[in-house]
Amino acid sequence: MITARKVDPRVWIGCLACYNAGRLVGDWYSADTADLVTPADLHKRETSHEELWVMDHEGFCGALDGECSPSEAAEIAEALSSLTEDEAAPFAAWVEVFGEQSDRAHWVDQFRDAYRGFYSDEAAYAQEWAEMTSSEEDKERMTRWPFNEIDWSRAADELFSGGLHAEDAPGGIWVFWSH
């Protein structure tokens, strides 16, 4: 059985007291359990050092910027946990544009509501949208003049000024609904 690969964010958790003393003590951990890492885990012995900090990270699809606490990283990882590998790139693009408008606990759901898919360009989206939303009769009509000569780029201009948003993707665009 083939299952979609999941996004698996990782964090480098370091000890702040050691860091401030000029030593890097830390390691990479899976982000979803970052909040469970203890100072003793990190130092591999009992220690009086208490504060841990995420100093580096990977695989967050743009949902984490800079440094944060391990519990914050775990919270974001939890929000990302249902994201598949295929969704990761368009999700990152969506977060960059729309992420600040909502709470990150809902990012994945809101991304899925907004995401219309990958297209070669705006005109290709407009054409597919027209086909999806037309009756069989209309579809038949669209194969004949003058409808077979519809200027899809112009149709796309209207669609995209009415609430759709296109972000550059490798080889095309990702289309998002922006309301």
> Residues in the site for Zn ion, rule: CB under 5 A?
15, 17-18, 25, 49
In whole angstroms, the minimum distance from the beta carbon of 52 to Zn ion comes to 9
- Quick one: 49 or 165, whose CB is closer to Zn ion? 49
The sheet with strand 10-15 has its strands ordered as 26-30, 10-15, 52-58
In whole angstroms, the minimum distance from the beta carbon of 57 to Zn ion comes to 20
Between 85-98 and 107-114, two packed helices, what is the crossing angle to 10 degrees? 90
- Quick one: 42 or 76, whose CB is closer to Zn ion? 42
**Looking at beta carbons, which pairs linking 148-152 to residues 24 or more positions away fall under 8 Å?**
152/123, 152/124, 152/126, 152/127
CB 162 within 8 A of CB 154: no
In whole angstroms, the minimum distance from the beta carbon of 15 to Zn ion comes to 3
- HSE-up (13 A, CA, CB side) for residue 30: 8
Report the length, in residues, of the chain.
Answer: 179
- Quick one: 38 or 102, whose CB is closer to Zn ion? 38
In whole angstroms, the minimum distance from the beta carbon of 25 to Zn ion comes to 5
The residue with its CB nearest to Zn ion is 15
- Quick one: 42 or 83, whose CB is closer to Zn ion? 42
- Quick one: 20 or 102, whose CB is closer to Zn ion? 20
Output the furthest CA–CA distance in the chain (Å, rounded): 80
The one-letter amino acid code at 165 reads H
In whole angstroms, the minimum distance from the beta carbon of 16 to Zn ion comes to 8
* Residue entry with tokens 């979609």: 4
